[in-house]
Structure 1
Amino acid sequence: MNEHEDRSKWPVWAEETIVIEEPTPEWQIKGEEEKKQLLSLLDPFEIIDIEHIGSTSIPSLQAKPIIDIMTKVKDFSRSDEMVAVLSEHDWNYVPPSLDQREWRKYFVKVHNNKRVAHLHIVQEGSERWDEHLQFRNTLRNNPKLVAEYATLKKRLAHEFAGDREAYTEAKSEFIQKVLKRYV
């Protein structure tokens, strides 16, 4: 058993319960603040673009109160340096061996043992970049989809309250349906 499999060594925030909250304009403000700080921190690494994504970026959608930011870089050649810089500013790196998503570098910002933000760093040319933005923009323009997604998220948060991976996986069918049908 390695350190990632031994859950007794995981930080408290790694297994916090999923809670869906009513939307607040503060999420948009926090998204802009995180983007601004990250642009400053990651400037030496040739950031191509940065976006507030995820449910908190959709003004009328209920969500976990965690700001998701996605950043596009040319490549991952300086990822060790990025990890060092970000770790000095409350960003916890989740290695690919634990994250299981080789297409990104993933960080969790923690305050008082609670997640407050996620950072997904992807390489230029990643189809994930386009998919995230297309999904976000489609929901921003379709109140019916927002309502449908909110209902699903609440049900899944109740069903998978203590299992973030299962919760995320269970939402993927809806996300793919939206991408295929509306994009």
Structure 2
Amino acid sequence: MSEQEIPRVSMSAAEIQAAHLVAAPKLNGQVTLREYDPRWPLVFEREAAQMRERLGRLEHRIEHVGSTSVPNLPAKPVIDMLLTIPDSAAETSYVPALQQLGFELVIREPDWYEHRVLRKYDLDPSADTANLHVLSAGCPEADRMLLFRDRLREHSGDRKLYGDTKRLLSQQTWQYVQNYADAKSEVVADILQQATSENSTDAGT
């Protein structure tokens, strides 16, 4: 399988622990969702501005992703951010700078697009933490994250479907938050397939 085609599959407990640089926190309960909070994009902009200053001359792009980036969508109080840089595996080019802002490198996945996650705690009264996903520029997973966000922002039907799915799954008990995320994968794939299909049709007209 090429580097351009690395599917995300449900992770076992051992895989979740292996990806974490510290012990992966267990949930062992239900996921807490909140209704959309208009403060969330403001928190993102505050953090992104500080990151841009710290990253300096490193070529980069910072985007607000995940459910907190979509108005009228329920979400965990966690600000998901996407940072794309020339090489996400080159940790020395960005991790020390972001550590100065309170971000901690918590996940390293060299076999899945060299994905990294940095986390910042005690973020804001409206959001407990920030998860900063780091991927290399041109990575197809980064494109999918942005496509999914934009689809939910623009299509109320898909937004409702995803929101209803999140609410239903949040009522179940999960060992890890990742298990909850994996349970949404089928709905996410269906929405992405529809978005891709419509985009291809529009491009052909």
TM-score normalised by structure 1 residue count: 0.83
Matches within 5 A, 1:1-183: 10=23, 14-16=25-27, 18-47=31-60, 49-76=61-88, 78-96=90-108, 101-111=112-122, 115-183=128-196
Structure 1 residues 160 and 40 mapped into 2: Cα distance closer, same or farther (>3 Å)?
Answer: farther
Letter in 2 for 1:96: R
SS of 2:62's equivalent in the other structure is strand
Structure 1 residues 103 and 156 mapped into 2: Cα distance closer, same or farther (>3 Å)?
Answer: farther
Select the structure that is richer in helix.
Answer: 1
Cα deviation, residue 111, structure 1: 1.4
Cα deviation, residue 77, structure 1: 5.6
| Structure 2: unaligned runs, 5 residues or longer | 1-13, 197-205
Percent of pairs identical after alignment? 26
| Structure 1: unaligned runs, 5 residues or longer | none
Cα contact 2:106–2:117 (8 A) shared by 1: yes
TM-score normalised by structure 2 residue count: 0.75
Cα deviation, residue 81, structure 1: 4.2
Structure 1 residues 154 and 77 mapped into 2: Cα distance closer, same or farther (>3 Å)?
Answer: closer
What is the count of residue pairs matched by the alignment?
174
SS of 2:105's equivalent in the other structure is strand
User: Residues 41-89 of structure 1: CA distance to partner in whole angstroms, max 9, x if unpaired?
Assistant: 2224321x11100000001100001111101101136313422222232
Q: Distance in 1 between matches of 2:173 and 2:45?
A: 30
